[in-house]
Amino acid sequence: MTIALIDYGAGNLRSVHNALVAAGAQDVAVTADPDVVAKAGRIVLPGVGAFAACMNGLSAIAGLVEAMERRVRGEGAPFLGICVGMQLLADAGEEHGTHRGLGWIAGTVRAFDPAPGLRIPHMGWNDVVPVGDHPVIAAGEAYYLHGYHFADAVDVAATSSHGATFVAAVAKDNIVGVQYHPEKSQAYGLATLERFLSWLP
């Protein structure tokens, strides 16, 4: 079963690829080819950088978003979004203006509210506190690096705290997204990827 690791110029691809293999993935295709994505057993969307740049990079590849839509939302392939890859699931992002996201999970990506003593971006190890019971998400500590967070989300799978509670993971049907970086989260991150690889939504 091929796992499509989406290459749109904005992801930590080598580290995510290596982590997926370490978690037991047999066939990881680093790809921007819509035909590969359309046939993939699972899809992983990483993301590093600004929301608008990532969304523009994804949208600039002819047929890629459409192939993702068809395979994930139409046919139910398990999907994992990582960091900005999770944020792109939102309706919109407010980094450097308001920009449309994929709109797969309702919510808006907003900046952390500045407060005395609060370091932004939020960087380093922090809790993952599950909300409800999801097969991919477990309690633990993970590595984060972000200045924006998924606000107003209904489909929250986990939270964490940085000045205030924020969304650490979202999940809806066959779609899951994590704000933290599994590929940088050592044993906890590998366990997250193992659960994703065995998940049958």
Assign a CATH topology to domain 3-198: Rossmann fold (3.40.50)
Specify whether 141 is catalytic: no
pLDDT of residue 157: 98
Specify whether 181 is catalytic: yes
Among the options 83, 95, 149, 162, which is catalytic? 83
Q: In what order do the strands lie in the sheet with 79-82?
A: 28-31, 3-6, 42-45, 79-82, 175-178, 165-172, 156-161, 122-130, 140-146
pLDDT of residue 115: 82
pLDDT of residue 1: 81
Specify whether 122 is catalytic: no
pLDDT of residue 119: 92
Q: Where along the chain do its domains lie? A: 3-198
Block means of pLDDT (10 residues each) for the chain, length 201 residues? 92 93 97 97 94 94 98 98 97 94 97 88 97 97 97 95 96 98 98 98 96
pLDDT of residue 156: 98
Q: How far apart are CA 59 and CA 64, in angstroms?
A: 7
Among the options 99, 122, 149, 181, which is catalytic? 181
